[in-house]
Structure 1
Amino acid sequence: MIESWRWYGEFDSIPLSDVAQTGARGIVTALHGIPYGEVWPQDAIVARKALVTEAGFDWVVVESLPIHERIKRGDGDLSQLFANYRQSMANLAAEGITTICYNFMPLLDWTRTDLAAPVAGGATCLRFEAVRMAAFEVHMLGRRAAEDDYPDDILAKAAAWFQAANDADRAALLAAIMAGLPGAFDRYDVDGLKAALAAYDGIGRDALRANYQRFLNEVVPTAEELGVRLCVHPDDPPRDILGLPRIVSNGDDLEWVLKAYDSPANGITLCSGSLGANPANDVPVIAGKVAHRIHFAHLRNVRKDPDGSFEEAAHLDGDTDMVALVRVLLDEEARRCDVGRADHAIPFRPDHGHHMLSDLARDLIPGYPLIGRLRGLAELRGVMRALSHG
């Protein structure tokens, strides 16, 4: 497998010279400063690739080439947005960058309620707390339909939290949830979020699936022509959130994606943490069923609570059997070798990580510390080496 590292370019306080010391040799990055829906210019891609190459790395995966919200909503004349997406793919392929991760999550890329939840030993992690999410939806956002999404005991605790919370507590909760908004980097206040959510009124699961089908129909043929492999990232968390439908949340959803446009160019980013946040998802089993179309992997672990809360665990310590999952990926690589695929190696990155040691004093992108991810990469490297030796 190709050991890789997510790097946010000019928005990342971790320099590539530090990343070089992790042992990773692949970089996963994107042009985060370009507004959604605009073409990624060839010269900007060349410049980013030069930075990566001069630092001793290969740019192995784009994460992400984002999809404009209008495409997700099926809103109006989308011909120019689709044309721009195809041109960005062509510009990337011209520079030899042919694995593109993306997601089809409405509005939010991921959702957490705490960006620095304490863990044993003094480190911190990302956490999704069901009570605080309910408090936000019902009492801060005023989304009354949210009361149907939570059991009575969670709603009672949410009301108590809201009553006890001060302005700073509520502002911190809003900031944590807004951290999941993509791009560089607009954030909403409560009224702004209400307006953004209103644009999705009337768009349910079936409508979102239809809009996704249209996206695949528009871009996968071009990906085939270019030799590009697209790989969708699962929903995070894998459930409806803020009244927005989610359609890439479990094994059945992933199989639907692959059948929606049956092509090697239409594949999966296997994210063990996103899928692992749903107690019904057996991640190694799911991975085995879609292994032939896994083009990229995010390896992280979560620990779940009975009320639907979850938090980032150490990479080998959460609810997902990481050794079994890595075994699936290595077996798939071996299968690809056996059939003569030159591109048999699957790029992966240690996803997220605990903020620990000196990283606690640094201004880092939430979930993307240096030391916590280095720990995860080292642990995963050890698992892979051991399994490779049988």
Structure 2
Amino acid sequence: MMIETMRWFGPSDPVTLRDIRQAGATGIVTALHEIANGEIWHTDAIAARKAEIAGAGLDWSVVESLPVHEGIKTRSGDWDALIDHYRQSLRNLAACDIRTITYNFMPVLDWTRTDLGWAMPDGALALRFELEAAAVYDLHILRREGAERSYDAAMLDRAARRFHAMDDDQRRHLERTVIAGLPGSEEAFTSDQFRQALAEYDAIDADTLRANHVAFLEAVCPLADELGIQLVVHPDDPPFPLFGLPRVVSTEDDVATLFRRVPNRSNGLCFCAGSFGARADNDLPGMIDRLGSRIGFLHLRSVQREPGGAFHEAPHLEGDAGMVSLVAAIHDLQTREGRSIPMRPDHGHQMLDDLSKRTLPGYSLIGRMRGLAELRGLERGIAHATATHATAARATAPTRATVAA
């Protein structure tokens, strides 16, 4: 069975460790968010956070995330020093017996949404990404140089009309939503700072970013192999180029290419069903089957794709993920390989009492607790059905004596 975890953002998270334990999870996924990107995670800080989690009756199962500094992604500046810091952080995590480490290689922005409170039919609030809204910000608020080349004529027209229909408050709200930094994001920006950060990637296309990703892994994976650590890359969210930035971990082929180029056993995948599922050309159960030996961590959520490059976070068992088939594929993988994979219910609707509370977008308690309960029931139902089928098959199989007769 999967190891049930929830993400926790540290002592300032409005969702407490006590809350998470009562939700039924046994593991915590977290990071030392107070440490600046590129700095070393020291053993005493890791051990203190681990002891705090253990004191609540939980295990620190997975690091999410150990950030990759922009200087590593661009392979510029103090690259050697930044790599040395990353290696030392890996040593210190291994010394504290934490060996599944999530990271991403998304340039500048981590995960991106354009609406943090999209009303669902039942009154709950969901996260949503809309390409048209992103284009409004890109073209008319950020005014990125050359941005018009990223969109077709129809999108340019729609974005212009929408921008002119917005008032100043609506424009400021969209700006804050896109670049102010979502939970777990590694950076937050003003629009001026965002323009400067984008400029660092002017000469970096997808091939160059992919080569820089390979160089990073080639520098850290040999040590991770020695330490028994698995580095699991989180896919791009959303899984397509945005604001002129390349994305290189968006499809099955992207991931398979990364594994071919860096075959170290420590080079693994955080399989995020929501990120991969935002693209209709990603076959989620098939990816579990084909990439399964590399999967060290699971984000289970479902998105509902909409026309025009939009999607919103659906209930965990609904939307386009095909969660029944997906969890069945995960159950087959775990049975085949004889292991349990850490899972967390990724994101959740803001609902019920959480509608009147301060919550982190996507990380309120009740919506994730609902998702965890649904996923737990689904997995146990699949496991029971599989075991029952196997027992029935053995009972009806002909014996040697029957065959001989």
Q: Secondary structure at the match of 2:155?
A: helix
**Gaps spanning 5+ residues in structure 1: where?**
338-343
Counterpart CA distance in 1 for 2:235 and 2:128 is 18
Counterpart CA distance in 2 for 1:225 and 1:237 is 33
Structure 1 match to 2:147: 146
Counterpart CA distance in 2 for 1:10 and 1:319 is 34
Structure 2 match to 1:372: 367
Quote how far apart the aligned CAs of 1:80 are.
1.1
Q: Secondary structure at the match of 2:11?
A: helix
Structure 2 match to 1:123: 124
Are the equivalent residues in 2 in contact too, given 1:30–1:65 (CA < 8 A)?
yes
Are the equivalent residues in 1 in contact too, given 2:182–2:361 (CA < 8 A)?
no
Structure 1 match to 2:395: none
Structure 2 match to 1:340: none
Quote how far apart the aligned CAs of 1:315 are.
0.4
**Which of 319, 341, 349 is residue 344 of structure 2 equivalent to?**
349
1:37-186 aligned within 5 A: 37-180=38-181
Structure 2 match to 1:311: 312
Quote how far apart the aligned CAs of 1:258 are.
1.2
Structure 2 match to 1:189: 190
**Gaps spanning 5+ residues in structure 2: where?**
386-405
Quote how far apart the aligned CAs of 1:327 are.
1.2
Counterpart CA distance in 2 for 1:218 and 1:144 is 34
Structure 2 match to 1:389: 384
> What is the CA deviation profile of residues 210-254 of structure 1, one whole-angstrom value per residue up to 9, with x for unaligned ones?
110110011000000101011000000000011000000000001
Are the equivalent residues in 2 in contact too, given 1:297–1:348 (CA < 8 A)?
yes
Which residue identity is paired with 2:75?
G
Quote how far apart the aligned CAs of 1:155 are.
2.1
Counterpart CA distance in 2 for 1:183 and 1:124 is 20
1:201-220 aligned within 5 A: 201-220=202-221
Quote how far apart the aligned CAs of 1:185 are.
6.8
Q: Kindly indicate whether residue 18 of structure 2 is the aligned counterpart of residue 17 of structure 1.
A: yes
Q: Secondary structure at the match of 1:10?
A: coil
Counterpart CA distance in 2 for 1:326 and 1:76 is 43
Are the equivalent residues in 2 in contact too, given 1:354–1:372 (CA < 8 A)?
yes
Which residue identity is paired with 2:279?
N
Structure 1 match to 2:390: none
Counterpart CA distance in 2 for 1:326 and 1:62 is 23
Q: Secondary structure at the match of 2:71?
A: helix
CA 1:185/1:345 → structure 2, altered by over 3 Å: closer, same or farther?
closer
Which residue identity is paired with 2:235?
P
**Which of 356, 362, 366 is residue 361 of structure 1 equivalent to?**
356
Quote how far apart the aligned CAs of 1:145 are.
3.0
Quote how far apart the aligned CAs of 1:320 are.
1.2
Structure 1 match to 2:4: 3
Quote how far apart the aligned CAs of 1:200 are.
1.0
Quote how far apart the aligned CAs of 1:184 are.
7.8
Counterpart CA distance in 1 for 2:109 and 2:373 is 30
Are the equivalent residues in 2 in contact too, given 1:118–1:125 (CA < 8 A)?
yes
| Residues paired across the two proteins, number | 384
Are the equivalent residues in 1 in contact too, given 2:277–2:284 (CA < 8 A)?
yes
Which residue identity is paired with 1:368?
Y
> What is the CA deviation profile of residues 29-76 of structure 1, one whole-angstrom value per residue up to 9, with x for unaligned ones?
000010000000111001100111010001110000000000000113
Aligned residues with identical type, % of pairs? 51
Structure 1 match to 2:262: 261
Counterpart CA distance in 2 for 1:271 and 1:286 is 11
Q: Secondary structure at the match of 1:9?
A: coil
Counterpart CA distance in 2 for 1:226 and 1:123 is 44
Quote how far apart the aligned CAs of 1:154 are.
2.5
CA 1:120/1:184 → structure 2, altered by over 3 Å: closer, same or farther?
closer
Counterpart CA distance in 2 for 1:19 and 1:130 is 34
Q: Secondary structure at the match of 1:11?
A: coil
CA 1:184/1:332 → structure 2, altered by over 3 Å: closer, same or farther?
closer
Quote how far apart the aligned CAs of 1:179 are.
4.2
Counterpart CA distance in 2 for 1:183 and 1:318 is 24
Structure 1 match to 2:326: 325
> What is the CA deviation profile of residues 121-149 of structure 1, one whole-angstrom value per residue up to 9, with x for unaligned ones?
11111101121111111111112533233
Structure 1 match to 2:393: none
Are the equivalent residues in 2 in contact too, given 1:291–1:328 (CA < 8 A)?
no
Which residue identity is paired with 1:188?
F
Quote how far apart the aligned CAs of 1:164 are.
1.3
Counterpart CA distance in 1 for 2:285 and 2:184 is 31
Are the equivalent residues in 2 in contact too, given 1:238–1:248 (CA < 8 A)?
yes
1:289-308 aligned within 5 A: 289-308=290-309
1:277-292 aligned within 5 A: 277-292=278-293
Counterpart CA distance in 2 for 1:228 and 1:293 is 12
Quote how far apart the aligned CAs of 1:109 are.
0.9
- TM-score of the pair, normalised by structure 2: 0.92
Are the equivalent residues in 1 in contact too, given 2:180–2:190 (CA < 8 A)?
no
Quote how far apart the aligned CAs of 1:263 are.
2.1
